[in-house]
């Protein structure tokens, strides 16, 4: 019999009055490990109340209760259901009724209810650590650290000093900075390299007139949407294509070099070693953006020659979603902290709190302890379980993808089939799982294929799933793919209602404003090609017209640090078109267009 089980056999039951008096005196003397008082939260209070009303706690019981509760934190008790349920586990009694749901106004604070009480549908995440899908799920230890951090006030400068010192000890780096996401860390480090921590300079950002250093060099292969954080400081970006251009660009005005990790830097015309080596010769710091990668200890980029390396706290590390980690050179990271909130100036807009600091530290502490090979094996087994389930359907194939490299490191699963045989495409399966319950987010895996002679499919990424999700996802996919449907036929375009070749003047109504764009259209049968002239940037487009249904898609890649995707869907009516505009991460808008009249 365990000590906890023995409690119910060892206590004596008295009258209510006797029990209250004796239990009050006894419990007031109990010192639970790590706590100086019983006033910690509703769960413990409920447990104490249950004990005070039901039992007399003698000396042996106090010791046993202390040991039992000492091994449980608040979250452990919460997972057991409620204070009354926990008390019944200790005393061999069953609670007669479940406790009322905890709420804050209309917000239900239960794990499964908090989003639903707002009309928001939770997601089973089979795509990965996309910020738009809220990144990762925090580790239990991270949530406990965040909760503990919120119980006390602290001087943030002192806290950052202590956290940075501990992060340096764990990772072997010289120093560390915790920021409000990796992009915020990029901005703070850029500001530090421009100002050196001088507040006379810092408060002038982004107006850099008269600054000794106001340039950042970025290889073309590393331009991406996130370098907006660097540009926000006001620096001039110098793009370079190869080693010759890079060396020539490293002049006296250059404050920093920025690169993003990946195959393009490993195998392109301007690789890591060249970037690090030439910058070191000219004493120019280099920031390496490894936001979506696994943290390596000791850090491979710092060892290779980078001055800094940045990570997202809310991806592989499973720390707070709004946290980031920068490791590297101590003096510049201390200057970066001066450029960060709570200090005023440019970085004040990217505030980091005590909860994120300690949550991120807890995530790194756990990262150093986690068995990553064991996690990979577990995730791989999940993918094999789903594959075994869905391949029982005739015509369905599945391939488990082994994790490769550091970026978005996770096993995955590709599921493919002939749409003509099953009567459904990967795009349709993805949409069904996204719009029904339980809601599941999948990767495409070839979802858009419409040719009956080719395969279609879906893709699953494992590492943001929970154990209980595996069976749910396997069963849902099996249910959808095994359903009987009419024979699938690829879509065929209908005869266009008109030839829309020419210039079209487009009016777009955004959430709080409008803009005029232009479409220069060339129609060949049902196919459309041409140029979409935006407010500043022209880009090519492709599209189709079937009867009076018009679809036009244009894109701007990340080649200069910005990516835009516009998908016009609408109806043609004479010399006018109108419909909806899907702008991807920038949500939606409405549009109208009129054929341009020359003269």
Q: Looking at residues 46-74, what average pLDDT do you find?
A: 39
Q: Looking at residues 61-71, what average pLDDT do you find?
A: 40
> The CATH number of the domain where 508 resides is what?
2.40.128.120
Say yes or no: 462 and 396 in one domain: yes
The CA distance from 129 to 461, in Å, is 10
Say yes or no: 271 and 255 in one domain: yes
- Whether residue 121 lies inside any domain: the answer is no
**Percentage of the residues of the chain whose pLDDT score is greater than 70:** 81
Give the dihedral of Cα atoms 34, 36, 38, 41; nearest 10 deg: -60
Relative to beta strand 514-524, strand 588-595 is unpaired
Say yes or no: 169 and 87 in one domain: no
What value does the mean pLDDT of the chain take?
84
Q: Looking at residues 495-505, what average pLDDT do you find?
A: 96
Say yes or no: 32 and 151 in one domain: no
DSSP 570: E
What does the block give as tokens for 404? 């490769």
Say yes or no: 186 and 274 in one domain: yes
**pTM attached to this predicted model:** 0.79
Find residue 414's DSSP bridge partners.
Answer: 399, 459
Say yes or no: 378 and 327 in one domain: no
- Whether residue 128 lies inside any domain: the answer is no
Using the CB atoms, write b or e for 525-555: b if 16+ within 10 Å: ebebebebbbeeeeeebebbbeeebbebbbe
- Whether residue 106 lies inside any domain: the answer is no
The model's pLDDT over 92-142, given as tens digits with 9 standing for 90+, comes to: 333 334 445 577 778 888 766 788 888 889 999 999 999 889 999 999 999
> The CATH number of the domain where 274 resides is what?
3.40.640.10
Compare 444 and 183 and report the one with higher pLDDT. 183
- Whether residue 126 lies inside any domain: the answer is no
Query: For the chain, how many structural domains are there in total?
Result: 4
> The CATH number of the domain where 453 resides is what?
3.90.1150.10
pLDDT above 60 for 282: yes
Strand ranges in 74-154 using DSSP code E only, listed in sequence order? 103-104, 107-108, 124-125
- Whether residue 45 lies inside any domain: the answer is yes
**Percentage of the residues of the chain whose pLDDT score is greater than 90:** 70
Q: Which of 317, 345, 366 is the last residue of a domain?
A: 366
Strand ranges in 360-467 using DSSP code E only, listed in sequence order? 397-401, 412-417, 440-441, 456-461
The SS3 of residue 260 is strand
Say yes or no: 294 and 416 in one domain: no
- Whether residue 199 lies inside any domain: the answer is yes
Compare 531 and 29 and report the one with higher pLDDT. 531
Say yes or no: 335 and 398 in one domain: no
Neighbour-count burial of 317, counting CB atoms closer than 10 A to its CB (0-12 exposed, 13-18 middle, 19+ buried): buried
242 pLDDT band, cuts 50/70/90, is very high
Q: Which of 335, 366, 397 is the last residue of a domain?
A: 366
- Whether residue 135 lies inside any domain: the answer is no
Say yes or no: 295 and 316 in one domain: yes
Relative to beta strand 286-289, strand 254-260 is parallel
**What is the reported pLDDT for 84?**
34
Query: Which residues make Cβ contacts (< 8 Å) with residue 564, sequence separation at least 6?
Result: 534, 537, 539, 554, 555, 556, 583, 586
Compare 84 and 247 and report the one with higher pLDDT. 247
What does the block give as tokens for 405? 């490299």
**What is the reported pLDDT for 76?**
41
Q: How many CA atoms lie within 13 A of 131 on its CB side?
A: 15
The CA distance from 153 to 185, in Å, is 24
The dihedrals phi and psi of 43, each to the nearest 5 degrees, come to: -65, -45
The model's pLDDT over 392-421, given as tens digits with 9 standing for 90+, comes to: 999 999 999 998 888 888 999 999 999 989
Q: Which of 366, 386, 415 is the last residue of a domain?
A: 366
pLDDT above 70 for 147: yes
445 pLDDT band, cuts 50/70/90, is low
Say yes or no: 183 and 67 in one domain: no
Say yes or no: 317 and 456 in one domain: no
Say yes or no: 153 and 202 in one domain: yes
The CA distance from 149 to 140, in Å, is 14
For the chain, what is the radius of gyration of the CA atoms? 30
Query: Which residues make Cβ contacts (< 8 Å) with residue 112, sequence separation at least 6?
Result: 122
**Which residue range(s) make up the domain with 562?**
502-595
Looking up tokens 């230890």 gives 141
Q: Looking at residues 8-35, what average pLDDT do you find?
A: 39
């Amino acid at each position: 019999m365990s000590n906890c089980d023995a409690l119910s056999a060892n206590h004596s039951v008295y009258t209510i009055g006797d029990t209250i008096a004796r239990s009050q005196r006894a419990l007031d003397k109990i010192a639970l490990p790590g706590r100086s008082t019983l006033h910690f939260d509703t769960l413990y209070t409920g447990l104490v109340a249950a004990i005070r009303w039901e039992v007399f706690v003698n000396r042996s019981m106090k010791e046993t209760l202390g040991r039992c509760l000492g091994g449980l934190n608040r979250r452990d008790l919460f997972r057991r259901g409620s204070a009354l349920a926990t008390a019944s586990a200790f005393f061999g009694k069953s609670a007669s009724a479940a406790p009322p749901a905890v709420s804050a106004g209309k917000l239900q604070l239960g794990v499964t209810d908090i989003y639903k009480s707002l009309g928001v549908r939770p997601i089973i995440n089979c795509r990965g650590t996309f910020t738009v899908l809220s990144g990762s799920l925090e580790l239990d230890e991270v949530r406990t650290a965040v909760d503990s951090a919120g119980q006390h006030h602290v001087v943030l400068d002192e806290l950052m000093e202590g956290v940075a010192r501990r992060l340096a000890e764990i990772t072997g780096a010289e120093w560390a900075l915790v920021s409000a996401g990796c992009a915020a860390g990029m901005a703070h480090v850029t500001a530090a390299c421009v100002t050196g921590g001088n507040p006379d300079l810092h408060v002038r950002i982004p107006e850099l007139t008269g600054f000794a250093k106001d340039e950042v060099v970025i290889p073309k292969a590393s331009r991406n949407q996130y370098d907006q954080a660097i540009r926000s400081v006001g620096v001039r970006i110098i793009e370079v294509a190869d080693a010759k251009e890079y060396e020539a660009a490293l002049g006296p005005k250059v404050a920093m070099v920025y690169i993003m990790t990946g195959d393009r830097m490993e195998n392109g015309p301007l690789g890591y070693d060249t970037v690090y080596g030439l910058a070191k010769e000219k004493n120019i710091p280099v920031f390496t953006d490894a936001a979506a990668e696994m943290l390596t200890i000791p850090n491979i980029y710092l060892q290779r020659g980078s001055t800094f390396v940045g990570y997202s706290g809310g991806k592989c590390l499973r720390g707070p979603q709004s946290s980031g980690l920068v490791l590297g050179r101590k003096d510049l990271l201390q200057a970066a902290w001066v450029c960060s909130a709570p200090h005023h100036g440019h970085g004040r807009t990217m505030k980091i709190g005590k909860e994120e600091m300690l949550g991120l530290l807890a995530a790194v502490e756990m990262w150093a302890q986690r068995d990553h090979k064991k996690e990979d094996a577990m995730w791989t087994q999940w993918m094999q379980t789903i594959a075994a389930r869905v391949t029982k359907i005739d015509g369905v194939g599945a391939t488990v993808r082994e994790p490769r490299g550091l970026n978005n490191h996770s096993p995955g699963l590709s599921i493919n089939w002939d749409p003509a045989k099953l009567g459904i495409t990967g795009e349709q399966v993805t949409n069904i799982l996204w719009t029904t319950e339980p809601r599941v987010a999948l990767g495409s895996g070839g979802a858009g294929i419409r040719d009956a002679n080719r395969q279609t499919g879906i893709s699953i990424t494992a590492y943001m799933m929970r154990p209980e999700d595996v069976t749910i996802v396997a069963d849902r996919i099996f249910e959808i793919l095994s359903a009987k449907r009419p024979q699938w036929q690829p879509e065929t375009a209908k005869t266009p209602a008109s030839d829309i070749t020419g210039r079209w003047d487009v009016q777009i109504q955004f959430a709080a404003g409008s803009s005029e764009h232009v479409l220069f259209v060339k129609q060949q049968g049902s196919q459309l090609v041409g140029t979409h002239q935006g407010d500043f940037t022209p880009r090519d487009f492709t599209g189709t017209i079937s009867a009076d249904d018009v679809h036009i898609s244009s894109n701007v890649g990340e080649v200069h640090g910005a990516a835009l995707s516009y998908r016009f869907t609408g109806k043609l009516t004479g010399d006018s078109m109108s419909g909806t505009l899907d702008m991807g991460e920038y949500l939606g808008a409405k549009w109208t267009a009129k054929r341009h009249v020359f003269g």
